[in-house]
Structure 1
């Protein structure tokens, strides 16, 4: 998958994902033959949108989604794992699964209620209707809502350049993981946050502030990550699940 290649390419600092034409994505191909899946063991089934969403979720580069127009179904669910989403108030978005007799996919049962709340998520999935980007029921999905669809991609590229030049990519990645893989209580969060923070002290950004210099961030997760990273246990979804690999966690 392209995102996995991008993840290990040190030349790539930020990713912008957009569509072609006037729509971002009109949903999954309903002519898709699902017969093969019905013959497979239940434990071996993986939906394609979920594979894309998890690639974004695990990507160490910030992924910005620029919705150049309408996006529904898998076009929405598979992009909820991106770091930043930008849309136009003139474009419509929806989760029409109940109207075509399907259930949500792309691991969106994890992402959607955490973004819009359980009440709005249930409303979106029950009605199956489309809504404009600035609709209250979609609050929490889009970081920026612009006036015109044609302004979305230029703004996304501008933001990508800013992130590339001004931001520690490792810090941005770790902060995303702290949000998504955070603890269940404030006390647990304190125990997770603290060792990460202390190992990040003395970095180029902090030093640059004191010296009144523009920091040049060159730290990489592979070589410079805090000692407690990763603080979560990994679950291998590529093969038949056999449980979490406890040894991968540093906490």
Structure 2
């Protein structure tokens, strides 16, 4: 896919996705959603990509959906509204699925305003950090809408139900420091330091870890965090641990520990996922 509304660049083992409509404060369109989907799916397939960082061009992260169509901006009977929710020949509705299912960890580097879909797109990512001065808002109730992009599921998991209700029912915007206190972001940094800090976090998560272990771990944590009991997980993690125990990754990890050196894991996400994956689809590899 040729990208028109994002930039996608490689920085060593990291893919950096930049929302790139700075003149529109990176307002979201169906085309942007399709491009985000494509970029995450490419990263998922590429063993050379270890982590993904998403940020915005200019002074905003994403100012929500493009409302340049006026009062009918969300009315899909018109061309503008249809373009907000979809784009001809693309798969814009899948960007949440693409982020959530991606086998690489992702970091949202929120460089400025992030409201509506501009913040809900960051919820399936694994880490969120914000620049000082960034304003955030789950503004749906103030527009007559409802929380979208799966945010009514993601947000309470991240910040707890009371905080999610407080933010969503008021629909107000709030400062990055409040997002930090509420657990939505893990750090607030100076704007000039934001991208460098995101890269430091990405390096921390990937420099000494097995790509296959990271892929499995983030899915296990996301998918079982709300399970009513541990029994389904126990049915998965024991045989998975046994199968992984015979893999070259584990031999390398233990040997590197014994030799007091950094590991060089041979396993590849594209070909070394265990037979239990993806367990949530009830499918096992032959």
Shorter-normalised TM-score: what interval?
0.7 to 0.9
Q: Are 1:166 and 2:203 matched, yes or no?
A: no
Q: TM-score, normalised by structure 2?
A: 0.72
The structural deviation recorded for 1:137 is: 8.2
Counterpart-to-counterpart distance in 2, 1:65 and 1:213: 31
* CA distances 1:138-184 after superposition (whole Å, capped 9, x unpaired): 623223222x2222111012222343432222211211100111143
Which 4+ stretches in 1 moved above 4 angstroms? 36-39
Give the count of matched residue pairs.
Answer: 229
Residue 263 of structure 2 is matched in structure 1 by 215
Residue 51 of structure 1 is matched in structure 2 by 94
The structural deviation recorded for 1:72 is: 0.7
* CA distances 1:10-66 after superposition (whole Å, capped 9, x unpaired): 222211111011111110012245116999xxxxxxxx7752121111111111111
Considering Cα pairs closer than 8 Å and 6+ residues apart, tell me whether 1 or 2 has the greater RCO: 1
Gap runs ≥5 in structure 1: 40-47, 234-245
Of residues 159, 162, 185 in structure 2, which corresponds to 1:116? 159
Residue 65 of structure 1 is matched in structure 2 by 108
Residue 254 of structure 2 is matched in structure 1 by 206
Counterpart-to-counterpart distance in 2, 1:197 and 1:140: 31
Q: Does the residue aligned with 1:35 lie in a helix, a strand or coil?
A: coil
The answer to whether the 8 Å contact 2:127/2:185 transfers is yes
Counterpart-to-counterpart distance in 2, 1:97 and 1:190: 39
The answer to whether the 8 Å contact 2:105/2:218 transfers is no
The answer to whether the 8 Å contact 1:195/1:226 transfers is no
* CA distances 1:168-213 after superposition (whole Å, capped 9, x unpaired): 2221121110011114302333222222223333342233112322
Of residues 190, 198, 221 in structure 1, which corresponds to 2:234? 190
Q: Given the superposition, is the C-alpha separation of residues 123 and 210 from structure 1 closer, same or farther in structure 2, using an over 3 Å criterion?
A: same
Q: Does the residue aligned with 2:257 lie in a helix, a strand or coil?
A: helix
The structural deviation recorded for 1:5 is: 1.5
Q: Does the residue aligned with 1:85 lie in a helix, a strand or coil?
A: strand
What RMSD over aligned residues (CA atoms) do the two structures have, in Å? 2.5
Return 63-72 or 217-226, whichever deviates more: 217-226
Residue 127 of structure 2 is matched in structure 1 by 84
The structural deviation recorded for 1:111 is: 0.7
Gap runs ≥5 in structure 2: 1-37, 83-90
Q: Does the residue aligned with 1:223 lie in a helix, a strand or coil?
A: coil
Q: Given the superposition, is the C-alpha separation of residues 190 and 134 from structure 1 closer, same or farther in structure 2, using an over 3 Å criterion?
A: farther
Counterpart-to-counterpart distance in 1, 2:240 and 2:173: 41
Residue 242 of structure 1 is matched in structure 2 by none
The answer to whether the 8 Å contact 1:49/1:77 transfers is no
Q: Are 1:157 and 2:199 matched, yes or no?
A: yes
The structural deviation recorded for 1:136 is: 6.3
Q: TM-score, normalised by structure 1?
A: 0.81
Q: Given the superposition, is the C-alpha separation of residues 190 and 117 from structure 1 closer, same or farther in structure 2, using an over 3 Å criterion?
A: same
Of residues 25, 32, 36 in structure 1, which corresponds to 2:62? 25
Q: Does the residue aligned with 2:271 lie in a helix, a strand or coil?
A: helix
